[in-house]
Amino acid sequence: MKQDLQYQQNTESTSRQEGHAKRGALLWQLFASFFRIGLFTIGGGLAMIPLLDRIAVREKKWFDEEEMMECLAVSQSLPGVVAVNMATYVGKRKGGFAGALLATLGVILPSFIIILVIANILLRVGDNPYLAGAFTGIKAAICGMILATVIRLGKNNLKDAFGWIIALAAFVLIVFLQVNVVWVILGAAVLGIAWTMIQKKHSAKGGD
């Protein structure tokens, strides 16, 4: 009896240890993945999207494309550094507060270190044509990569006419009419609420 109890306690503590090890591994994965993402996010936070799609959705399978869409929507709607928003979102969802902290640390550390270490050198080699060419190539490529990702996200997430109209309207308002992003997001939120209410009413009627 006593032995049984001890055995039980032992297995409990090993499973708890395994749990700790698993959690440690997850936290490390969050840090390392976001460090990698931060290192290759060139030209601003949105360059992160193709990398996030590849690493968080396809490689690590932390979540599916629909949840990634939710992450992007929340990150774009809140103020602040988009990259930090996304890292905090994914980190918190997958690893709680510690996850959020490590993912955020991971995504900002590369730029912090690189600026400190090489910014002063870069100022001097800024005129180097090969370096300038390399960054032109990277930026052109990143445009193409984000475009490919947004097309895939659109195909998988725009499920009805309402979604397509909102997406198209947001694009036109910002690109052609230079409307502030904040107003576009607020307007979309209000229309979304109205649309959901109308749909609920219809389905309630249909159920009667």
Q: Tell me the one-letter amino acid at 143.
A: C
Tokens representing 123 are 């100022």
Q: Does 7 bind another protein (CB under 8 A)?
A: no
Q: Does 207 bind another protein (CB under 8 A)?
A: no
Q: Does 32 bind another protein (CB under 8 A)?
A: no
Q: Cβ(62)–Cβ(90) under 8 Å?
A: yes
Which residues ranging from 102 to 141 are in contact with another protein (CB under 8 A)? 104, 107-108, 110-112, 114-116, 118-119, 122-123, 126, 129-141
Q: Does 197 bind another protein (CB under 8 A)?
A: yes
3-class SS of residue 161? helix
Nearest distance in Å: CB 70, another protein: 7
Which residues ranging from 170 to 189 are in contact with another protein (CB under 8 A)? 170-172, 174-175, 181-182, 184-185, 187-189
**Contacts of 101 by beta carbon, 8 Å cutoff, 6+ apart:** 91
Tokens representing 7 are 């055995």
Q: Does 60 bind another protein (CB under 8 A)?
A: no
3-class SS of residue 160? coil
